Structure 1
Amino acid sequence: MSERRNVLTPEALAMVDVIARTGSFAAAARELGKVPSALTYSVRQLEEALDVLLFDRRSRQAQLTAAGQELLTEGRRLLQEMDAVANRVRRVASGWETQLSIAVDSILSSLTVFELCEAFYALNPPGGPGTRLRLRSEVLAGTWEALVHGQADLALGVAGEPSPVAGIAIQPLGELMMDFVVAPHHPLARETEPLSDTVLERHRAVAVADTAQRLAPITMNLLPGQDVLTVPSVPAKLEAILRGLGCGFLPRGLVRPHAEVGRLVVKAVARPRSAGRMHYAWRCPPGNGSNPANRQGLGQALQWWLEQIDRPATRNALLERHSGGPTLA
């Protein structure tokens, strides 16, 4: 048993992860800075120690066996836990996290997010001290998934009303008003309002792909049988609509400057138009519960970010300030 435990090092788990992610031993060797033969030898040593076959040698690709998939899943969890332990130890020693990962839905204001980053790095000592920020761009259920599965410490722009999860606190960010828009040269720009679903379904919609990998993805405002152009982010959706490649809903704060100069046309639709309820959420220390008011045991970096987002002006800027306008006070 000790031999098996000894071979399950962070390096070995990370090696399996890289091979599975890149899809081949050669690609993994390049990423890890090794020769393929050395990587193959390391995998065989791991397989012999565990007495299992991790990769199917009959496949030209690095195809995991059932045992290999289990090791990959549990290995990723163990690596995340190791990082979390190191982070907690660092936090106990200094009060500041080694790294703070923030998942941000691409529908929020990137200008405001980077202003917050600037303010954070301006702290004395810089970064508070030594906390590395890691921003993740997510969409819809992917934002919540990143937090739930330990890939983020803080999530901004959690959509809808997610089910309560132990160890995660959640607070309302606000309501995001959306407008249906088309380019001025798009056929729908000349249609009589309000636009019915029958009219809309004849025209291509532009949709942003949900980044969730494990949770059920969210689909919004798409009609059955409607042609869809799927893009990776809200800025990409804006660009596609500006080019007349399709139509769709965009945040009012993002639409406003383009509509004012005639680059976008806002159209009324027959279907009820409602605001999207958004939240921000964060991971709580074990035993701390999920009470948003209880912030004992949180690292100073996370506390700083929460203090900024608690301010109504910051929450409003995240939802509405997509270009220009006054900076955060």
Structure 2
Amino acid sequence: MIEMRQLVIFRAVARTGSFSAAARQLGYTQPAISQQIKAMERSLGTPLIVRSGRQMQLTEAGESLCRHAVTILGAINTAETEIKAIAGLRAGRIRVAAFPSACSVLVPKALSLTRRAHPDLRVTLVEAEPPEAVGLLRGGESEVAVVFDYPVTFNATASAGIKDTCRAADLACLSVHPLFTERMRVLLPPGHRMSGSARTEPLCLAELAQESWIAGCPQCRGHLIDACQEAGFHPDIAYATDDNPAVAGLVAEGLGVALVPELALLGGVPKGVRSLPVEPAMERRVLAVTLPDLDAVPAVAAMVQQLGLAVSLTDSATS
């Protein structure tokens, strides 16, 4: 097996025409150059260089190796240049998967910040609910997934003590970066008996036991059912949709009430729809997750950092 160092030495000898010149060029002693050439010849089982008086000549095998050495060393130099560019965020890509409401405000802000900070980094985005987003991450189809979970059941294997209820989107063995915690709110249709314009105090879910409900994605739907059962009733889910604006639209038409996260309300709600806090207070966590080995990749670290910055900017804009 030819070592890369030997290939560099052989190429220098072939180019300069002497061991001593190659030694001066590479910073070796002449005996060291000679030993490396002999080691290559033993490994390959044939002479590469022959002496004719004071002249050195390449054998047929040496000429063949010299041609390949130019190609190999050139390819390695190109690879090193590309890798240094990627490491320095002057090239490369980062693929992000994120749930829909995060794709409306938070993630676009993070992508914009990343583009301004690293204009040569190519960033792509795919919308996916947490289970699918984590599946894309584990399957090598994304490097960062923005997901949410509801802090109900502690999962001792999740990173940083995160409470994990991401059904089918198991956070175990992933690197978890908490972004923020948001509160849940109830949406009430126009003219609802509990939506007086002066009301600001939290609304107990038990007060809505007789209402029709509009549920969100399967994960949110499961949380709604758990929360209502904790309040002493099973919700009558009349409609279900993964689209947050559609949830608000259904509420606006008086078709039911809904339990939604604050992130889903950043774009506003239809006229007449009231948003009230819930009692007892309910929250969900928004997380950036990646594979542990990807944490050290500069592009991944940069994206997680920009997501955190986007959170602070979004909070400032909405406070």
| TM-score category, normalised to shorter length | 0.5 to 0.7
Rounded Cα–Cα distance in structure 1 between residues aligned with 2:105 and 2:318:
10
Rounded Cα–Cα distance in structure 2 between residues aligned with 1:90 and 1:207:
51
Question: Does residue 219 of structure 1 match 2:222?
Answer: yes
Match in the other structure for 1:58: none
Against the structure 1 CA distance between its residues 90 and 176, is the aligned structure 2 distance closer, same or farther, given a 3 Å change threshold? farther
Rounded Cα–Cα distance in structure 1 between residues aligned with 2:80 and 2:191:
58
Secondary structure of residue in 2 paired with 1:241: helix
Secondary structure of residue in 1 paired with 2:126: strand
How many Å apart are 1:188 and its aligned residue? 5.2
Calculate the aligned-residue CA RMSD, in Å: 3.9
Question: Does residue 180 of structure 1 match 2:186?
Answer: yes
Match in the other structure for 1:308: 306
Against the structure 1 CA distance between its residues 268 and 173, is the aligned structure 2 distance closer, same or farther, given a 3 Å change threshold? closer
Rounded Cα–Cα distance in structure 1 between residues aligned with 2:216 and 2:80:
39
Which of 193, 205, 215 is 1:207 aligned to? 215
Rounded Cα–Cα distance in structure 2 between residues aligned with 1:146 and 1:116:
20
Question: Does residue 250 of structure 1 match 2:253?
Answer: no
* Contact preservation (8 Å) 1:139, 1:210: no
Larger Rg: 2
Question: Does residue 276 of structure 1 match 2:284?
Answer: yes
How many Å apart are 1:154 and its aligned residue? 0.7
Aligned residue pairs, count: 212
How many Å apart are 1:171 and its aligned residue? 1.6
Which of 99, 105, 116 is 2:110 aligned to? 116
Secondary structure of residue in 2 paired with 1:177: strand
Match in the other structure for 2:72: none
How many Å apart are 1:301 and its aligned residue? 2.7
* Contact preservation (8 Å) 1:158, 1:281: no
Which of 152, 158, 172 is 1:165 aligned to? 172
Identity percentage over the alignment?
14
Question: Could you list the per-position Cα deviations for residues 12-70 of structure 1 after superposition, in whole angstroms to 9, with x for gaps in the alignment?
Answer: xxxxxxxxxxxxxxxxxxxxxxxxxxxxxxxxxxxxxxxxxxxxxxxxxxxxxxxxxxx
How many Å apart are 1:127 and its aligned residue? 3.3
Rounded Cα–Cα distance in structure 2 between residues aligned with 1:198 and 1:179:
14
Q: What stretches of structure 1 move > 6 A for 4+ residues in a row?
A: 88-91
Match in the other structure for 1:127: 120
Structure 1: segments with no counterpart, 5+ residues: 1-87, 212-216, 289-294
Rounded Cα–Cα distance in structure 2 between residues aligned with 1:185 and 1:113:
34
Structure 2: segments with no counterpart, 5+ residues: 1-78, 151-162, 165-169, 229-233
Q: Following superposition of structure 1 onto structure 2, how do residues 39-54 of structure 1 map, counting pairs within 5 Å?
A: none
**1:306 maps to amino acid:** V
Against the structure 1 CA distance between its residues 142 and 203, is the aligned structure 2 distance closer, same or farther, given a 3 Å change threshold? farther
* Contact preservation (8 Å) 1:258, 1:264: no
Q: Following superposition of structure 1 onto structure 2, how do residues 5-84 of structure 1 map, counting pairs within 5 Å?
A: none
Secondary structure of residue in 1 paired with 2:305: helix
